[in-house]
Amino acid sequence: MLNRKLLLAVATLGLAGAAYAGGHNDAGCGLGSMLFKEDKPVHQILAATTNGTSGNQTFGITTGTLECSSGGLIKAGKEREVFVAANLRSLEREMAAGKGQYVSSLAALSGCSAAPEKFLSFSKANYEKIFTGADASAKAVLENLDRAMASDKALTQACGA
């Protein structure tokens, strides 16, 4: 019984480690992926097991070594897209009001962390340009936001862009 629990724990660690590695084969980054490079199921299982049991993948992600990056699953350029897509309706309400935690977070992701209050008032004043319809997509909202921000010199100066 103890052996089964130990085997289950090792397998779980191996799979969990692989789930957090981006930009690599199925096993992710780490020593196991460096040793077992072929994209065959057996090699990927060995790589994931090596990464999970030795803890080297966590070390690699933390330190940026072992062919790992410390940038996380979502690259900086995509953070805004993912954030807006996940929080579109909350952002719509808060931008209309010119206040709130979601729109403040979007201000920081948009480079306005030094002047969030200017971004908040800007988003309220430009709400109708940003949200052009009830069915506005996250991509359209970001395009409209970027266009409106680019045309506002005061906001551009305040945000340092």
Stated pTM of the model:
0.55
Name the residue with higher pLDDT: 9 or 64.
Answer: 64
Query: pLDDT tens digits for 109-153?
Result: 888 888 889 999 999 999 999 998 877 889 999 999 999 999 998
pLDDT score of 57 more than 90: no
Q: Tell me what pLDDT residue 10 has.
A: 44
Distance CA 103, CA 113 (A): 11
DSSP string, 115-140: -HHHHHHHHHHTHHHH--STT--HHH
